[in-house]
Amino acid sequence: MVEIYYIDIEEEISGLDHDALLGICSREKRMEASRFRFEPDRKRAVYGEALARYMIAGKTGLSMNELIFDKNRYGKPYIRGQQRIFFNLSHSGRYVICGLDQEEIGIDLEEVKSMDLGIARKFFHANEYIYLLSREPEQRMDALFELWTLKESYIKYLGVGLQKPLDAFYFNLEGPSVELHSNDRIPAFIQSCTIKGGYKLAVCADSPGPIRVRQMAVKDIVSDIGRRGLQHMQK
């Protein structure tokens, strides 16, 4: 089962809780975050890695600082030396989200907002653009962001970044379920949903199956980390 946790970077937390999250991130991530000019960008970077470490440690029983994060040549992060644990991160607006599975995974979250359809004409497959034009005007942004997240989740699942042109494959949303048309011949299973506050989420995984999406409060994560730390010390 794909497990997805997300956190709200606008949640009010104490300085101690913030430091606790910083403390479980790698030095590289802390340095990367410190280079961002704006606080929300620093938070997205730190909270993302902290959330991934928290979830992976919970699943594997490894301690959070044993996990070594690496990246493939296109920047997709993975845990070194772990063949049965895969994760992917996304951030948009006020949320940071992490998906975890035992096989390859890609997720994308986007806040639905008003956007020029020209972006779809320029980057999407022609069939997707035609589909967007066929929607009622008030449904178009929803459809645009649904396609956007589906496309990104697939690219993130493949882990190749923008090496894969966005018009090299397309999604058909006319039927009862999402249909991917691609020459990759990879059995990818893609689902899409909406999370609160008008955000589209798409998840691409190796096998079909249930997806559990759960919002976590940062303070609960921190107190859980504290409890686990105590258990480690007591062993």
Ligand X SMILES: CC(C)(COP(=O)(O)OP(=O)(O)OC[C@H]1O[C@@H](n2cnc3c(N)ncnc32)[C@H](O)[C@@H]1OP(=O)(O)O)[C@@H](O)C(=O)NCCC(=O)NCCS
SS3 content of the chain, % helix, strand, coil (to 5): 45, 25, 30
Q: For residue 120, what are its two tokens?
A: 């779809």
Give the span between the Cα atoms of 69 and 109, in whole angstroms: 22
89 binds ligand X (CB under 6 A): yes
20 binds ligand X (CB under 6 A): no
Residue with tokens 């609960």: 220
Q: Other CB atoms closer than 10 Å to residue 112's CB: what's the count?
A: 20
Candidates 42, 43, 53, 91: give the one binding ligand X (CB under 6 A): 91
Q: Other CB atoms closer than 10 Å to residue 211's CB: what's the count?
A: 18
Q: What is the 3-state secondary structure (H, E, C) of 72-136?
A: CCCCCEEECCCCCCEEEEEEECCEEEEEEECCCEEEEEEECCCCCCHHHHHHCCHHHHHHHHHCC
The binding track of 158-197 with respect to ligand X, each residue x by CB under 6 A or -, is -x-xx---x-------------------------------
Candidates 90, 125, 211, 218: give the one binding ligand X (CB under 6 A): 90
Q: Measured from the CB of residue 168, what is the shortest distance to ligand X in angstroms?
A: 12
Q: By C-beta, is 91 or 200 nearer to ligand X? A: 91
The binding track of 39-78 with respect to ligand X, each residue x by CB under 6 A or -, is ------x--x-------------------------xxxx-
151 binds ligand X (CB under 6 A): yes
Q: Measured from the CB of residue 123, what is the shortest distance to ligand X in angstroms?
A: 5
Q: By CB under 6 A, name the binding residues for ligand X.
A: 45, 48, 74-77, 88-91, 106, 108, 123, 148, 151-152, 155-156, 159, 161-162, 166
